[in-house]
Structure 1
Amino acid sequence: MNYMKKIVLFLIINILPIAILGLYLCTNIGGAEDVKEVVENSPFKEFIYIDYKTLMILKDNADIQNIPAIYKETLIFINGIYIGNHGSIGIKVPLGFLIKYIPIGNFEYYNGVLIKNPNEFDLGKAEINDLINTVPSNYKDVLIYKKDYVIGIYYDLNSNKTYLVYVFKKSDNREIDTEKLKNELLQKTDAVDCNVIDMGNEIYVYQEFNGINLNLISNGIL
């Protein structure tokens, strides 16, 4: 009987915490639910956000094959990455709150995110503006959030297509020739479909690309 008690005690002390931690990680690894969650979790007022799904695509991309495998594999533990305007980098990870109690190098903790190279001009909670309300909720694989414009990208792995929505405020409510802008975008990019809508104070741009177009991140959106 005492032997069984020792086994049970051993399991409780050594195995149960690991099982609980494993369950927590399994249920908390992954990207944001939608674009509004990305904005609400942001440690920066303006930012570029790269979601978990995109990190997994980048992990297997040939362009970063020269990175040691051990570093690439650690990407699976990152829910998302925020990049501020002034060089700050925010990393959303499970158990990130522990950094408050266990300092790690040059990292700081802010709004649930680990911050590397924090810059006072970056730090601050982003405010949800009217522009984000026009971006489809799942267009958060890459999200660029600025004062005067928002860009959302969705990678459809099933259809092997990339979808982009770009919403920006008009300067002084000037008139914009939507048909001309549409034709210019089709000529400048490799989009297979494009639509431009004048929404009064804002312009809504939709683009569709064949394949998983990672160049939209590295070479600029438009």
Structure 2
Amino acid sequence: MKKIVAILSVLTLFSGCIGNDYSSVEIVENSPYPEFIYLNKDMIKMVVNKTSEKPVSDYFFIIFDGAYIDKNNYSKLAVRTPLWRFGSIFVNDDIKAKNGLIFLNSDFVGTPDLKYNMPLNYNDIIVYNKNYGIFIEIGHEYTSAEIIAENLSRNKYFMEHTNDIAGKNIINRTIIEKDDILIGTYVLESGIPIGDINNSLFKMDITSTS
């Protein structure tokens, strides 16, 4: 933990180098984990401030682009930052720096299957696995979400009839069939319990043929 704090402190000194905003397509393509949860810098701020004893300055978060969490092991984390090369100062068995990422307790695992990777509007939170992709944007009044899944009758039934996503009631929905893919666009109640992200939070009764 001390080394992680040291890394972040060093990076903050160079935070005049502003991070980038990546599209949902770029985020999925560049994931170091086949199945992952991605949080952009705004969501990282929400998580840190929710779990920290004291509020953290907005200035601190300038250095981040986002963070990937390995969906199969929540202790594995990859932080995307334009200052990733400075992470090499602290490299050991638990910390690695490569390809724009600082890995904590992990390394590159593999690339995702891109069949659910489409140009979408939302990238505050992305949940991506072998069965579906969920793309979420947190708004002040509403939360918006898009679900991409294989065009199977079971998946369509779930997407048309589920009452909530991540515990938030669905206000409105549109389901589009596009070749072998289903695209569900949802308007939800405001907010996502971001500090409690885990596999059960985004568990969907959605499957795939692969």
Q: How many residues align?
A: 187
Cα distance in 1 for residues equivalent to 2:171 and 2:130: 29
Cα distance in 1 for residues equivalent to 2:196 and 2:160: 21
Q: 2:127 aligns with which of 144, 161, 178?
A: 144
Paired residue for 1:130?
115
Note if contact 1:191-1:207 (Cα within 8 Å) is conserved in structure 2. Answer: yes
Note if contact 2:37-2:69 (Cα within 8 Å) is conserved in structure 1. Answer: yes
Q: 1:204 aligns with which of 147, 163, 183?
A: 183
Amino acid at match of 1:28: I
Task: Give the superposition deviation at 1:124.
Answer: 2.5
Gaps of 5+ in 2: 1-10, 205-210
Paired residue for 2:42?
53
Cα distance in 1 for residues equivalent to 2:153 and 2:170: 24
Paired residue for 1:80?
66
Paired residue for 1:162?
143
% identity of equivalent residues: 18
Q: Which of structure 1's runs of 4+ aligned residues deviate more than 6 A?
A: none
Change (3 A) 1:108 1:186: closer
Aligned-residue RMSD, C-alpha? 3.5
Q: Output the TM-score relative to the length of structure 2.
A: 0.70
Cα distance in 2 for residues equivalent to 1:79 and 1:154: 16
Q: Output the TM-score relative to the length of structure 1.
A: 0.67
Paired residue for 2:101?
113
Change (3 A) 1:139 1:177: closer
**Quick check: which has more Rg, 1 or 2?**
1
Give the structure with the larger strand fraction.
2
**Cα deviation per residue 1:22-49 (whole Å; 9 max; x = unaligned)?**
9x7345235x321122123322222110
